[in-house]
Amino acid sequence: MTLLEVKHISHWFGGLQALKDVSFQTQNEILGLIGPNGAGKTTLFNIISGFITPTKGEVIYGGQRIRIHHLRPYQTVRLGMARTFQIVKPFATLTVEENVLTGLGMPFYPTSKALVQRYKTASNMEKVEEILTTTHLIEYRNSPAAKLPIGLQRRLEIARALATGPKLLLLDEPAAGLVSQEATELSDLILNLFHQGIQIIVIEHNMRFAMNLCQRIVVLNQGEMIAQGTPSEVQNNEKVINAYLGQE
């Protein structure tokens, strides 16, 4: 099922064109988004998740085909889209547990529920426990997020995103800065989430990580989509090789 459709997205930052007419769709898959530095990957993520409104083009989401490119981030979360950040942004002063709790139905403005209802209910704590078990963070549940090493902070961001109950998960360089053992564990986690029925788009710099994990890959270079296909198709694509290694 097509959950997300990106149609003719172009975006300028002042005079700089960051994205040029990018279009693709997700199928039921783990989709990789790769490309050299400055290719526009994170900009595209920011557009999809509502942090940036694109200059041109549309983002269409879900079975109801909602045009979401004008929505704010907290509205896209409500539709079932969650994301992590390239530069990790856990809530540093909160514990691991509290970080995950923030995702469990926080009212997006101060409604009466927000003012009166406590967040540490038995049912919420049960959900937190389940999510922390899935993401192998349960032993750190009471640690302040700031004290976790970077690899665990990345996993915590995934856990927090999962708490929002996403149908589509956008992961921005989840394997950056991880040693290979950690990257393998992360790969397993992402696959596991996919098998639970969550569609995933992952930006990745680590080629081997992306090639092993993703069923299909979209390649961006200087804001343009230069290829898409299975990992092996993409790997042998001449444009991709040129983009990464430079032309002779």
Partner 1 sequence: MSSGYIVTILTFVAIYISLALSLNILTGYAGQISLGHAAFLGIGAYTSAVLAVHYGLPFWVDFLAAVVVTGMIGTILGLPSLRVRHDFLVLATMGVNFVVVSVFKYVDFFGGAMGLVNIPAPTILGLTFRGGAPYLTLTAIYALLTLAVCWYLSKTWSGLAFHAIRNDEDAAASVGVGSARYKIYAFGISAALAGGAGSLYAHFLGSVFPDNFVFVESIGMLSMVIFGGIGTLRGPIIGAIFLRLMPEMFRFIQDYRFTLYGALLVLMMLFQPMGLLGKDSWLWKFSTRVWPGYRTSKREEMP
Tell the smallest beta-carbon distance from residue 89 to partner 1 (Å): 4
- How many other C-beta atoms lie within 10 A of the C-beta of residue 152? 21
Instruction: Round the CA-based radius of gyration of the chain to a whole number and report it.
Output: 18
Residue (201 or 243) nearer to partner 1, CB: 201
CB of 54 vs partner 1, minimal distance in Å = 17
Is residue 150 within the footprint of partner 1 (CB under 8 A)? no
Residue closer to partner 1 (CB basis): 3 or 163 = 163
Per DSSP, 42 falls in state: H
Pick between residue 143 and residue 184 the one whose CB is nearest to partner 1.
Answer: 143
> From the CB of 165, what's the least distance to partner 1, in Å?
10
* Binding map of partner 1 across residues 28-67, x = CB under 8 A, - = no contact: ---------------------xxx----------------
Give whole-number Cα distances, 210 to 76, 199, 228, 229, in Å: 25, 15, 13, 13
Contact present, 59 and 66 (Cβ < 8 Å): no
**Of 174, 170, 203, whose CA–CA distance to 186 is shortest?**
174
H or E element in which residue 78 lies = helix 73-78
Query: What would the x/- binding string for partner 1 be over residues 99 to 138, using CB under 8 A?
Result: --xxx--xxxxx--xxxxxxxx------------------
173 burial type by CB count under 10 A (0-12 exposed, 13-18 middle, 19+ buried): buried
Query: In whole angstroms, how close is the CB of 247 to partner 1 at the nearest point?
Result: 37
Contact segment (CB under 8 A) with partner 1 among 63-71, 144-152, 205-213, 216-224 equals 144-152
Task: Return d(Cα 39, Cα 118) in angstroms, integer.
Answer: 44
Q: Taking CB under 8 A as the criterion, which residues in 167-226 touch partner 1? A: none
Task: Name which of 55, 48, 49, 44 is nearest 14 in CA terms.
Answer: 55
Give the footprint of partner 1 on this chain (CB under 8 A). Answer: 49-51, 72-74, 77-78, 82-85, 89-95, 97-98, 101-103, 106-110, 113-120, 139-140, 142-144, 147-148, 160-161, 163-164
